[in-house]
Amino acid sequence: MENLKRLIRTIPDYPKPGIMFRDVTTLLRDADGFEQAIIALARPFETERVDAVAGIEARGFILGGAVADRLGCGFVPIRKKGKLPWKTIGQEYTLEYGVDAIEIHEDAIRTGERILIVDDLIATGGTAEAAAKLVRRSGGEVVGAAFVIDLPELGGLGKLEEHGVRCHALVAFEGH
Ligand code: AMP
């Protein structure tokens, strides 16, 4: 995991002062790093029934698509408001830097389906919590949530677990 951590680029003060942006594009660019990240993200869920991976726009699409392929299941996009072409269910959430809303197609998940949420990073947990709400409001069951990066100081992982979501993160970084 130290190797994965080294492949993640840190950009200070992006997108605003005080934020240390953890950039996974450098990890994705590295064939071995990308492969190891996908294997590790999928591993705890390989022995479970997973009907689909729900990836959160945009970096969650790249990681979530590859995890879905590895688990042999389908992929459901969770997108920023106004981006999906069909009828949607929406959920507002507070981001580390702003307020936003995410949406899912209303027919993307069938009742009782077991869904794994994937994103690149969990900070305050607001985005992932909104994603879990969307899955549950769609009739799905959240199998878990997998992230490459956790920012433990922001407490998102604990908050998500309090909401009954089993969480899995590969590396942790100090700070915001
Ligand atoms: P949160 O809702 O606070 O858990 O924020 C998580 C979402 O915001 C993820 O989709 C991340 O990609 C993005 N994000 C938040 N903070 C950072 C950060 N420091 N570096 C990179 N991405 C971040």
Domains belonging to the chain, first-starting first, are: 2-172 (3.40.50.2020)
Q: Which residues are catalytic?
A: 59, 96
Q: Does the CA dihedral 74-114-43-149 come out positive or negative?
A: positive
How far, in Å, is the centroid of ligand 1 from the Cα of 121? 5
Q: Above 70 in pLDDT, residue 130?
A: yes
Place of tokens 């390989």: 46
Q: Which residue's alpha carbon is nearest to atom 16 within ligand 1?
A: 123
Q: Cα–Cα distance between 117 and 122 in angstroms, integer?
A: 11
| pLDDT, average across residues 105-126 | 97
64 pocket-lining for ligand 1 (C-beta < 6 Å): no
* pLDDT at residue 154, rounded to an integer: 94
Res 125: pLDDT: 94
pTM of the predicted protein model: 0.97
pLDDT digits (tens, 9 = 90+) for 13-27: 999 899 999 999 999
Count CB neighbours of 163 within 10 A. Answer: 14
Both tokens of 36, joined, read 């190891």
Q: Which residues contact 18 (CB under 8 A, 6 or more apart)?
A: 176
What pLDDT was estimated at residue 65?
A: 98
Beta partners for 12?
A: 20
What are the residue ranges of helices labelled H in the chain?
Answer: 2-7, 25-28, 31-42, 59-71, 126-137, 156-162
Q: Could you identify the atom of ligand 1 that is nearest to the CA of residue 19?
A: 19
For residue 97, pLDDT beyond 70: no
What pLDDT digit, counting tens, does each position of 22-46 carry?
A: 999 999 999 999 999 999 999 999 9
Q: Which of 14, 22, 28, 96 to mutate to test the pocket of ligand 1 (most atoms within 8 A of CB)?
A: 96
pLDDT greater than 90 at residue 5: yes
